[in-house]
Amino acid sequence: MSVRLRYGYGMTWTWQLEDADGNALEVPNDDLGSQGDAESWLGERWRDFAAEGATTAVLLEDDKVVYRMDLAPVDE
């Protein structure tokens, strides 16, 4: 599952969360606007998603992968 975000001229920003096996996880469908909004949205929630089993977040612009990010906390 992924979160769809619309901005400007029809661009759709999508977060896909995956577990350790690469399976897609359920993501709440929030209405966000830009790439920055999408990144802030995930920044506020990533710990909750990680606690629910998400290990990777993938940001997509339309269907193009912008980047992948590990959700594991850094050991201090």
Give the domain ranges of the chain: 2-70
Per-residue pLDDT at 7 exceeds 80:
no
The continuous run of DSSP H or E covering 50 comes out as helix 35-51
Compute CA distances 58 → 1, 3, 18, 76, whole Å.
Answer: 11, 11, 8, 24
Per-residue pLDDT at 1 exceeds 60:
no
Compute CA distances 21 → 17, 24, 34, 54, 56, whole Å.
Answer: 11, 9, 29, 10, 10
Compute CA distances 42 → 9, 15, 48, 74, whole Å.
Answer: 22, 8, 10, 17
pTM (2 d.p.): 0.78
Predicted confidence (pLDDT) per residue in 27-74, tens digit: 776 656 689 989 999 999 999 999 999 999 999 888 899 999 999 877
- For residue 9, what pLDDT is reported? 52
